[in-house]
């Protein structure tokens, strides 16, 4: 059993700390936000992640998981200290390192014995050395030694518990064999592949992996836009591409682009790192531009389907950037909903989890509904922005009765074209032929 402090109780820190406790370690999750710590002690989890609350409750009851706002005491009581604070995107696109630097100073001030300091936050290349310097400069006892490790996270929101408990690899970067072995041993109960490397390479692996996945998404979205122009079906195209073992089918689902806490921030950060190193990463910048433009196709399709948007009532189904999370960071809805409102429409929105998170971020005029049916009632068109099960599985017969006009804009390609055709909807998706579009000759499609 290892004694571990996890500094930062955001998404990464809370999930990682809880999973480390689940495999038998003593974890102190700490945060300077006393209100958040008080809530966690009462069993109130500040983020939505399936299975997380149950796992927190289990491990706090077992005494393996503790919460405190006394960061210094947590550091002193632990042998391994994980840095899991936020690195938000700054105005220039680079990662804001303020919180990482603050934690490094705090660790230095409370370094009372040998410790392994692990960067879990997504940080620019060179951060490991920066943390080493800050800790060294703030040590009370220069004779006390420590090592720094980079152990980036690869968690997907909505499936983070499974991703951590069944991780496909643990990347561990350090110049210390002793520290690398200790963190490798820590991960042994997960039964994962261990990849040992140097600090800088581990830091780059995280950015490179996210940037590559973002590139796949923007690429298939660009292909989808071409498919619409030439009459091809992007779903069939992506499936055919994915059969190639060199390509694979993951992250080749066309839609309205990526969002969330990782891809937007990390692509901008890597582009900034490249600029700072003297390399113009044109490919990655094109990925970012493609993603920004992609979400705008929703309103273009809406105009195409109903003409003037002003005065119309639009149902928006899904607000979070992806299903099974309440995360609204860089969600397409943050661009699309204000644009619909600005064009003069009224919006009735439904999201099963993210409503309260979304309210302060969207126009005040938005009406929030408790069910899909409530959002659809009396609307002139429906726009799908998140593929929640409640939305994918909605009753199209009932939806047709509730709506004023049967226009459906599917930004996630999550509804069957054959099904909407049979129900008489005018249907636009991404990279596929429209269905039942009056006057276009496209009353039917081949499926």
Active site residues: 262
Phi-psi category of residue 248: left, alpha or beta, with phi > 0 → left and psi -120 to 50 → alpha: left
Instruction: Look up tokens 């190193």; give the residue.
Output: 277
Classify 329 as helix, strand or coil: coil
| Cα distance between residue 285 and residue 190, in whole Å | 36
Determine contact, residues 252/238, Cβ cutoff 8 Å. yes
Determine contact, residues 382/376, Cβ cutoff 8 Å. yes
Instruction: Specify the DSSP class assigned to residue 192.
Output: P
Determine contact, residues 322/411, Cβ cutoff 8 Å. no
Classify 314 as helix, strand or coil: strand
Q: Which helix (H) or strand (E) holds 72?
A: helix 71-76
Rg (CA), the chain: 24
| Cα distance between residue 153 and residue 250, in whole Å | 19
Determine contact, residues 338/332, Cβ cutoff 8 Å. no
CA 13, 321, 324, 53 dihedral sign is: positive
């Amino acid at each position: 059993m290892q004694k571990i402090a996890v500094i930062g109780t955001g998404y990464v820190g809370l999930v990682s700390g809880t999973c480390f406790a689940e495999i038998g370690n003593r974890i102190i999750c700490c945060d300077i936000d006393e209100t958040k710590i008080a809530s966690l002690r009462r069993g109130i989890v500040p983020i939505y992640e399936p299975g997380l609350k149950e796992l927190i409750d289990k491990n706090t009851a077992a005494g393996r998981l503790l919460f405190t706002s006394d960061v210094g005491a947590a550091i002193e009581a632990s042998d391994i200290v994980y840095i899991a604070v936020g690195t938000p995107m700054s105005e220039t696109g680079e990662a804001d390192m303020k919180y990482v630097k603050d934690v490094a100073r705090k660790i230095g001030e409370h370094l009372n014995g040998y410790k392994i300091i692990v960067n879990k936050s997504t940080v620019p290349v060179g951060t490991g050395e920066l943390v080493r310097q800050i800790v060294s400069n703030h040590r009370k006892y220069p004779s006390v030694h420590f090592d720094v490790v980079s152990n980036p996270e690869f968690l997907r929101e909505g499936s983070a518990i499974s991703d951590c408990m069944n991780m496909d690899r643990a990347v561990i970067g350090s110049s210390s064999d002793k520290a690398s072995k200790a963190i490798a041993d820590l991960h042994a109960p997960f039964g994962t592949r261990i990849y040992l490397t140097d600090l800088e390479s581990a830091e780059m692996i995280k950015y490179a992996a996210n940037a590559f996945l973002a590139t796949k998404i923007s690429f298939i979205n660009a292909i989808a836009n071409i498919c619409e122009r030439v009459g091809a079906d992007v779903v069939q195209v992506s499936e055919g591409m994915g059969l190639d073992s060199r390509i694979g089918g993951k992250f080749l689902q066309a839609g309205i682009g990526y969002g969330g806490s990782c891809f937007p921030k990390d692509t901008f950060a890597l582009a900034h790192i490249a600029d700072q190193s003297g390399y113009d990463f044109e490919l990655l910048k094109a990925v970012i531009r493609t993603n920004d433009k992609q979400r705008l196709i929703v309103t273009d399709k809406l105009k195409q389907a109903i003409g003037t948007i002003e005065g119309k009532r639009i149902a928006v189904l899904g607000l979070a950037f992806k299903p099974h999370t309440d995360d609204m960071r860089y969600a397409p809805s943050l661009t699309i909903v204000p644009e619909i409102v600005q064009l003069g429409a009224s919006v009735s929105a439904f999201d099963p989890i993210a409503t309260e998170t979304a309210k302060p971020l969207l126009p005040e005029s938005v009406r929030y509904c408790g069910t899909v049916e409530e959002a659809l009632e009396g609307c002139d068109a429906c726009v799908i922005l998140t593929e929640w099960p409640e939305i994918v599985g909605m009753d199209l017969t009932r939806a047709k009765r509730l709506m004023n006009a049967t226009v459906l804009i599917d930004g996630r390609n999550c509804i069957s074209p054959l099904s909407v055709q049979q129900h008489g909807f005018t249907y636009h998706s991404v990279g596929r032929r429209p269905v039942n579009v009056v006057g276009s000759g496209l009353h039917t499609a081949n499926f």
